[in-house]
Amino acid sequence: MPSNTTAPPAKKKGRRARLIVLVLVLALVAGVGCGAYWGVSTVRGSFPQTTGTIRLDALSAPVEVKRDAQGVPQIYADTEADLFRAQGYVQAQDRFYEMDVRRHMTAGRLSEMFGKSQVDTDAFLRTLGWRHVAQQEYDKVLSAETKKNLQAYAEGVNAYLKDRDPSDISVEYAALAFSNDYTIEPWTPVDSVAWLKAMAWDLRGNMQDEIDRSLMTSRLSPAQIKDLYPGYPYELHQPIVDKGAVDKATGTFDPKADAKDSGDSATGGGDAAQGIQSQLAALSDTLDEIPALLGPNGNGIGSNSWVVSGKYTTSGKPLLANDPHLAPMLPSLWYQMGLHCRSVSATCRYDVAGYTFAGTPGVIIGHNDSIAWGLTNLGADVTDLYLEKIGTQGYVVDGKVKPFTTRDETIKVAGGPNRPITIRSTEHGPLLSDRSTELEKVGQKAPVGNAAPDRGNGYGVSLRWTALQPGKSMDAVFALNRAKDFKSFRAAAKDFEVPSQNLIYADTEGHIGYQAPGKIPVRSKAKGYDGTLPAPGWDSSYDWKGYIPFDELPYEYDPERGYIVTANQAVIDEKKYPYLLTRDWGYGSRSQRINDLIESKTKDGGKISPDDMRTMQMDNRSEIATLLNPLLLKIDIADPQVREAQKLLEGWDYTQEPDSAAAAYFNAVWRNVLKLAFGDKLPKELRVDGECITVRVVDTTAPVDEQNKPVRECGERDPDSAQPDGGDRWYEVVRPLLKQEKNAWWKTPGDRLNAPTETRDQLLAQAMKDARWELTAKLGKDVSTWSWGRLHQLTLKNQTLGTAGPGLVQSLLNRGPWNLGGGEAAVDATGWNAAGGYEVIWVPSMRMVVNVGDWDRSRWINLSGASGHAFHSHYTDQTDLWAKGELLDWAYGKAAVEATTRDTLTLQP
């Protein structure tokens, strides 16, 4: 969904001058010291004009921008070009600094804004080539109509920028101007397209799991790794599509067919690239440094969406809910907006409202006058790492040396010399290993049958990723906005190539549907390769064999059960589908809970109301607690203080409210169970940075008297992506072990304070003890004062100086904390990483409940607010409501918009 919307600026040493300036500016804003009037006027000078008239030369006719009490704009225009020009202008008014930093990030140009500390990040992003591919898409792939819309949007942004001093655009530019003479460049259509590549990066599938499994081979056996990556529990958690099969005669997916075991799905990971082992830690470290725009690496970005047929609703029409789970960020990733042609016709076709991305035209999630749609991450495996044999002349494939594809680029650095880099690619993709001296050593110890051509460089690591091929996802956005029925919806979905998303649907005729779109690779079945480990690039039989045809991807239309739920669970039973979508689904805890809630509400003729949909979104039941808590209550605890904590769990209903002491203690126990049973047994590359344990490592290259000697070993992983993270994969890891009281995973070596454990109950008792003293340190000795919300807090951090600036800057720009309920893998998915701590690291980034057909009774909420200006009244004016689970009325029809309008701005040609 940590603060991830943009990269952190240069580290403190490189930013001191401009941070001092910003501190002064912000201190003046806050009225500290003299000159408060100058400070207030400086900051308010960047606030948007929302009333009166502004001239925009590019317009063909007047455009009205109507804003409600939250500053959410609804735009009315006579032509499509004017509509998107106005969208660009208005988004730039509220969010241009955010847009500017994002485009520098996607282009690998952060160093131009923030100095030399961003050079390595820029080099990696240039190697990935997001901007390079976006340019190819714009030049060669996107439709002429999409290009016109992108051009109109850029004209609107640039109309806002014209003749404006940077300090009049956003206060952050006041700092940049003093430090490096930064100048703002005009916006381009490719800037908008590149943002979709960044979105795809954070929704790329199982790349982190692929790395982690390889790293585990240095410490764990294949059987142990298999324990930690169990298969999807189809018998417990139903997939999205419970029927349907590919008709081989017609080459299409039939959603009504009774699926049978296809016998075609790949079944094993093979032994591909086992030799990478812990050398891949360098790549993992690099990934931790790359901006994760939507969510922490490795934690599995989730989302909920579901749609209920009118036969089960109080309105008699479908209801559709969506809440994407992304990283908490300030301003929010989403920007609420309506785009309305005054008269919808063949020449002006848009009447759409919903959630947009600042910097990209159109609406990403929302509804028009005929259909509504929502998105969740499908999680398809669309990336593979390849181990490449490289030499001075090129790389090896099937015994032949092929030349690299290269391009030279220059990284401009604020306050420093330029840095030239060379980017090399194989037929699989860019060589990520060129960006790390450690990665150049990959494979030097690899137990492969024949040596690399140049043993001094060992092997390289390349990335094949569907998003590095030019695609039509930008075309799909506009097509979705115009779709009128399921046929046109599916036609739009066909072009939604990356990132691969679950698309749900409802229309005013009462139909509901689902489509799995995306460019999803077909892997070789001959070697049984399933993409779960890096592949040997020198063997062409591991290359992709094309992509799953769109007509054979799963979909549903008016299923008999009357509802569709997508929450990152398996799309379809892999045994009944001829193509492998991924081995690394979400494990279905959230989706099954939603299914159960719908079924319980509709049994015996019950009906679901819009408020019921909202209540479901806020459901915070802990599914792992239903398994583990009964066992915890049976353990005989002698220590009276630990027993006092144990009593909190008696009668607990497994809900995770902010004021719940039981939820606080249970989650602490769960965290300590994971640490004892699994975390301390993982290699250092997966454990939390700086957390150290004593281990015995067998090194056959060391002298005999040095082998198997105890050593102090410290973790190396960023806390937000460390393992075990506690998500629902770990629920399925633990579920079967709870029935095996003497399984080896329950054994621990103990330490000077605690005895070793041999059984399940011994380890659970130790976890309860450790949790008691951890919470005593964090929340105090009196358990009656404990609460989950005091542990589980959300702080919204301003981008970019709110994440790495001095304390005064952060306190002025950031907001919070908020004490939250919910938790990892709950429907109210306020995620936290059990290895790293209890801080909220991903959230429902927005929530919406769409009342299909009666659009003005729909409701929505954003995580923060419309404005990206730190001291504006709409900076975080929705957050308190969001934290309470409340929704705002969502006006759509012209009369409803008029009734809720507070400010009207006319853009005049």
Query: Using an 8 Å Cβ cutoff, are 297 and 554 in contact?
Result: no
Q: Cα(716)–Cα(217) distance, rounded to whole angstroms?
A: 17
With contact defined as beta carbons under 8 Å apart, do 806 and 694 qualify? Answer: no
pLDDT of residue 610: 98
pLDDT band at 458 (very low <50, low <70, confident <90, very high): low
pLDDT in tens, 748-807: 998 878 899 999 999 999 999 999 999 999 999 999 999 999 999 999 988 765 565 556
What pLDDT shows up at residue 450?
41
- What does the pLDDT average to over 374-394? 90
Instruction: Answer whether residue 272 shows pLDDT above 50.
Output: no
Mean pLDDT of 590-595: 98
Instruction: Give CA–CA dist 645/775, Å, rounded.
Output: 10
- Write the single-letter amino acid at 574: E
Contact yes or no for 467/198 (Cβ under 8 A): no
Model confidence at 449: pLDDT above 60: no
For residue 453, what pLDDT is reported?
36
Among 134, 165, 138, residue whose Cα is nearest residue 150:
138
CB 243 within 8 A of CB 255: yes
Look at residue 12 in the predicted model and tell me its pLDDT.
Answer: 37
The more confident residue out of 188 and 810 is 188
pLDDT for residue 440 is more than 50 = no
pLDDT of residue 620: 98
Q: CB within 8 A of 300, min separation 6: which ones?
A: 379, 568, 586, 725, 727, 729
Asked if residue 138 has pLDDT above 90, the reply is yes
Does pLDDT of 16 surpass 60?
no
Rg (CA), the chain: 27
Q: For residue 699, what pLDDT is reported?
A: 54
Residue 626 clears pLDDT 90, i.e. is over it: yes
Q: What is the pLDDT of residues 828-846, one digit of tens each?
A: 999 999 999 999 999 999 9
Q: What is the pTM of this model?
A: 0.93
Say whether pLDDT at 4 is over 60.
no
723-744 tens-digit pLDDT? 999 999 999 999 999 999 999 9
Identify whether the C-beta of residue 502 lies closer than 8 Å to the C-beta of residue 378.
Answer: yes
pLDDT at 8: 35
> What's the start-to-end Cα distance of the chain, in Å?
39
Q: What is the pLDDT of residues 226-236, one digit of tens each?
A: 999 999 999 99
- As a whole number of angstroms, the longest Cα–Cα distance in the chain is 85
pLDDT tens-place string over residues 881-901: 999 999 999 999 999 999 999
Tokens of 890: 């969502």
For all residues of the chain together, what is the average pLDDT? 88
Please, are residues 378 and 498 in contact by the beta-carbon 8 Å criterion? no
Bridge partners of 162, per DSSP, are none
| Segment (H or E) for 136 | helix 130-136
Question: Of residues 142 and 175, which shows the higher confidence score?
Answer: 142
pLDDT confidence band for 447 (50 / 70 / 90): very low
β strands within 648-797, DSSP E:
692-696, 710-714, 793-796
Q: What integer is the mean pLDDT of 575-600?
A: 95
Write the pLDDT tens digit of every residue in 107-134.
Answer: 999 999 988 888 988 999 999 999 999 9
Is residue 307 very low, low, confident or very high in pLDDT (cuts 50, 70, 90)? Answer: very high
Q: Is pLDDT larger for residue 459 or for residue 598?
A: 598
Q: What is the pLDDT of residue 705?
A: 61
Among residues 276, 814, 244, which one has the least CA distance to residue 551?
Answer: 244
**Token pair for 271:** 């032994």
Evaluate if residue 26 carries a pLDDT over 70. Answer: no
- Output 699 or 163, whichever has higher pLDDT: 163
**Looking at residue 167, what is its pLDDT?**
84
Contacting residues for 615 by C-beta, under 8 A, at least 6 apart:
none
Residues 548-586 have pLDDT tens digits of 999 999 999 999 999 999 999 999 999 999 999 999 999
Lowest-pLDDT range of 322-336, 440-454, 732-746: 440-454
CA 258 to each of CA 5, 465, 502, 551, 677: distance values in angstroms, whole numbers, following the listed order: 44, 33, 22, 17, 42
| CB distance 512 to 498 below 8 Å | no
Higher-confidence residue of 178 and 85: namely 85
